[in-house]
Amino acid sequence: MKRLFLISAAILFAFFWTGCSQKAPDLNAGANISDVPSMSGDGVNVGEHNEMANADALKGRMSPSGGLPNDGTYNNSSGGFQSVYFGFGDFSIVNDMQKAIDKNIQTLKNYSGNIKLEGNCDEFGTDEFNYALGLKRAKAVKDALVAQGIAAERFTIVSLGESAPVCTNSTANECYAQNRRVDLHKQ
């Protein structure tokens, strides 16, 4: 009996010792999104995209209208800014979000202060992955705004990962789309 207890304890110790360690995500993997000079094609060209980010994979994961929530219905930004939404597992800015980028540029031209860009994710993926993805999304929005003439030093980027959802209905796909966003706030 004592031997069985010791073997069980050793297996549990080994499980917890090895199961809790994870390699930190590489924020510089793939393309360096800070090197993106301007918008091109269907969005900001940030190098290789997650294979799930193509249009066919995104169907059913967007708002009821079939596109990203870009009509202002969903907005968690403040101070006249518009949230920018992203596809599942992606950090590229698609054409559907150009209206939000343009609105944010106009708001920035009438505001001389600093802006905080908060990257957010849905609940899928590990905490580490979502933190890194949130940073990449915030950086992509910053790069798109800087490419339009807004000074880079005005921005602070942070990632909230999956910790600040605006929708928690886990049965609605459009709910997940509302959580994949970058919010802009005056500082």
Q: How far is residue 117's CA from residue 138's CA, in Å, rounded to a whole number?
A: 6
pTM (two decimals) = 0.64
60: left (phi over 0), alpha (psi -120 to 50) or beta: left
Strand pairing of 84-85 and 115-120?
Answer: unpaired
pLDDT for 62 equals 41
Write down the pLDDT at residue 129. 95
Q: Calculate mean pLDDT across residues 146-153.
A: 95
Map residue 94 onto helix, strand or coil. strand
pLDDT at 58: 37
Is residue 137 domain-resident? yes
Instruction: Give the residue, 61 or 3, on which the prediction is more confident.
Output: 3
Q: How many alpha carbons fall within 13 Å on the CB side of residue 83?
A: 25
Per-residue tokens: 111: 């505001």
The total of structural domains in the chain comes to 1
What phi, psi does 77 have (nearest 5°)? -80, 165
What is the extent of the structural domain holding 120?
68-187
CA distances from 120 to 10, 138, 176 (A): 40, 8, 11
The pLDDT tens digits of the residues spanning 17-49 come to 555 444 444 444 444 444 433 333 333 333 333
Rounded mean pLDDT, 2-14: 66
pLDDT for the residue 90: 92
For residue 55, is it within any domain?
no
> Quick one: pLDDT at residue 76?
79
161's CB contacts (< 8 A; 6+ apart) are 119, 120, 121, 127, 130, 131, 133, 134
79 versus 46: the higher-pLDDT residue is: 79
Amino acid at 11: I
Let me know if residue 6 belongs to a domain.
no
Q: What is the pLDDT of residue 175?
A: 83
Please determine, for residue 14, whether its predicted confidence score (pLDDT) is greater than 90: no
Q: Is residue 153 part of a domain?
A: yes
CATH number for the domain spanning 111: value is 3.30.1330.60
